[in-house]
Amino acid sequence: MTMAFDGQRVLVTGAAQGIGRAIARHFAAQGASVFAADLDLAGAEATAQAAGPHCVAHRLDVTDRVAMRALVHSLGVLDVLVHCAGGVCGQVGRPLEDVTEADWRSIFAVNTDGAFWACQAAAPGMKARRRGRIVLIASGAGLGISLTGIQAYASAKAAEIGLARQLGHELGPFGITVNAVAPGFVRSNPSTEAQWQALGEERQAQLVQGIAMRRLGQPDDIAHAVLFLASEQAGWICGQVLQVDGGR
């Protein structure tokens, strides 16, 4: 099965590292014009360099609705939107009574709010063309629990999955598919590496033994799933969440 994206315009948020970088790189390799957006402009530029001439870096704070709308407007009508920006904002697991309002809201802002602002900005152009693909990068934590015990992260990713389902029904009549990918544990950036090290050798071994494939995921594993959901071959898949976790 060949998945080609020649001439398609693809926006990837959270593209400065890890999974977002892999997604941008794979789309560019398949002929897409890729816009790699991230608050970390230097990281996004490194992604663009790795992806080649068909990828351009942009600075973007996904929590800023006005900035999101301005960027999408400047790019023209998108064929594909991938919201990969997110994460735990440097937080660690704590008892719920120790979580501050600011900490709770910061995780929702980048994960759930950012996903909504991105979809809201991209949808009008896609609706006018009656075609589009939206893929939200959620997490296995949104379907189960956060391995690190971060309540806001599990909640925000569950909300992101719910958003994909809801928007799939709203935008499907316009020829737009909306789906979510829920990765398992992937050591893809400094935050996930710190989480991995904090587990300790015993819990690391237990985690791997709980995976059917007996290995952790790689950013490319997630990118392959995203490209499939964005492809013509996935044109009748909408409002779904695809777990890419090696079998849990």
Active site residues: 153
From CA 242, how far away is CA 245, in angstroms rounded? 9
Neighbours of 146 (CB within 10 A): 20
Report the SS3 class of residue 179: strand
From CA 81, how far away is CA 159, in angstroms rounded? 18
Report the SS3 class of residue 55: strand
Of 199, 169, 173, 170, the residue nearest 187 (C-alpha): 199
Provide the CA 209 distance to its chain's centre, in angstroms: 26
Provide the CA 131 distance to its chain's centre, in angstroms: 20
DSSP label of 110: I
